[in-house]
Structure 1
């Protein structure tokens, strides 16, 4: 016996909220990793190389 679509929707009431919570937690974790990476000495050198490359590409260096 299958449940009606209305009964199925009622059973999944909190699913959307849980999905938002998981995505928010993943985004915060990814942001933390990016901050740690880009504030490190290696990350700063990488950013400098990228900016120097693009400045040279458009003729400002």
Structure 2
């Protein structure tokens, strides 16, 4: 076994122990999704993208 002693707590530390990883992964995915949403909002608010979307809607319904 590859267990190390944690100098701060004096407890054994097992680097292969992945307890808490799911929570960390969920947090990282949530932050990435929020950042992606921010980029999409910035793009949709730009005049070029707004005109492109309006043109697509006009041609679809016109």
* Bin for the TM-score computed over the shorter chain: 0.5 to 0.7
Question: Relative contact order, CA 8 A, sep 6+: which one is greater?
Answer: 2
Higher helix share: 1
TM-score, length of structure 1 as denominator length:
0.68
Q: 1:36 aligns with which of 20, 25, 42?
A: 42
2:27 to 21, 25, 28: 21
Distance (Å, rounded) in 1 between the aligned partners of 2:20 and 2:59: 48
Higher share in strand? 2
RMSD: 2.0
Long gaps (5+) in structure 2: 2-16
TM-score if structure 2 supplies the norm length? Answer: 0.67
Shift of 1:50: 1.7
CA distance in 2, matches of 1:17, 1:48: 41
